[in-house]
Each structure stands twice: as C-alpha cells, then as structure tokens.
Amino acid sequence: MASLVLASSSPRRRELLGRLGVVPARICSPDIDESPLKAELPRDYALRVARQKAEAIERAPDEMVLAGDTSIALGRRILPPADTPDLQRKLLEMLSGRRHHALSAVCLIDTNGTVRLRLADTVVAFKRLSTAEIDRYIECGEGLGKAGGYGIQGRAEAFVRFLSGSHSCVVGLPLFETRALLESAGHPLG
C-alpha cells in the first residue's frame, strides 16, 4: 500500500484529512512562489498552486502526495493572505456585506506520477461588518496569515449570513473532493 505525504504545514488540513480516517505517513511544507500570474483567474490560480505544491515535494516510488490551496476571490480579484493587521482590515472591509468565493483546489500525485486535480467552489456572504466588529476580529489575531484575512472555523463564522457549498472547502481542504481523489487512486480511507 502506498504511503501518503501531505504537502502542507496547515494544521487545519491535517485535521480535515483525519476526518476521512487518513493519517499521512509524513508531512512536508512545499516552498513555492504563490504569487498570482498576470491576469490569472482565481480558479486557474488555485488549481495551479495546488499542483505546484504537490510537484514541489520529492516522493519515493511507494508514496503519493496530496496538496491543497484555498483562495478567496472577490469577483475576478484574488485576495491575498492578510500578513499585517492593516491589510487584514482592508480585506475585511472589502468582504463586508458582500458575497465572495472560497476556491479550494486539491492535487494528488499517485505512485505512477499521475496527477489528479479537483476544485471546490463555495459562495460565502458576510454580514455588513461594523468598524468595532472588524477591530475586535483583528485583535483576536486568528485571521492573520489566512487568505482573505479570516478563518471560518473560528470567530469569523459568526459573520457568515449565507454559505452555499462546502464548509470544509472554506476551512482549507474540501472533504468530498479529497475523498474522491484518494478513492480514485486506491488509497484506503478510515
């Protein structure tokens, strides 16, 4: 049986994978440039980055590599991870009272080198956020480093007035799509 390598340092992806009864044999953080290409559409971006993450990990002949990428898109615009509180404020102000897309791509490279890709698209609508709500959310620190400046698995879930699609997609690893990829490659699920 092939061993699974998770190409991610995200504890959320590891936890979500565990919900499928899957424990990776090893975990590696891919080191790639995640900058969007000029005029790249959000769907294409998420799929490209997930594939590049998987391809960046060296694998033994008996290993398969699983990687994911979750992006937040407002129209055709790819929102970056919030690396500062100022950027986080700007992102939350942009998302306030609006619908956006959480796009989560999953890539699996099997033992034969076959690349399998899936994409989940979840529509999320935030309530209109007050300045005080944004201030409190930034102060709690949970949205820093996350695409779009928020983590739905925490306090930001209270901002969601509408969600159409997969909650696990927004968290960072769409379970339905991940399960389908692992099954198609013959990897056992728990």
Q: Is 29 left (phi over 0), alpha (psi -120 to 50) or beta?
A: beta
**DSSP-assigned letter for residue 111:** T
State the pLDDT at residue 188. Answer: 84
The CA-atom distances, in angstroms, between 70 and each of 24, 133, 179, 188 are: 20, 24, 17, 24
User: What per-residue confidence (pLDDT) applies to 153?
Assistant: 92
CB proximity list for 35: less than 8 A, separation 6 or greater: none
Task: Set out the domains of the chain in order of their start, with CATH numbers.
Answer: 3-184 (3.90.950.10)
pTM of the model: 0.93
At residue 175, the pLDDT reads: 97
Q: Please tell me the distance from the alpha carbon of residue 92 to that of residue 180, in angstroms, as a whole number.
A: 33
Q: Which residues of the chain have pLDDT under 70?
A: none
Which positions are annotated as active-site residues? 69
The whole-number pLDDT of residue 2 equals 86
Check residue 10 and give its pLDDT.
87
Would you state the pLDDT for residue 67? 97
For residue 185, give the 3-state DSSP assignment: coil
pLDDT per position as a tens digit, 129-141: 999 999 999 999 9
pLDDT of residue 172: 93
pLDDT at res. 152 = 95
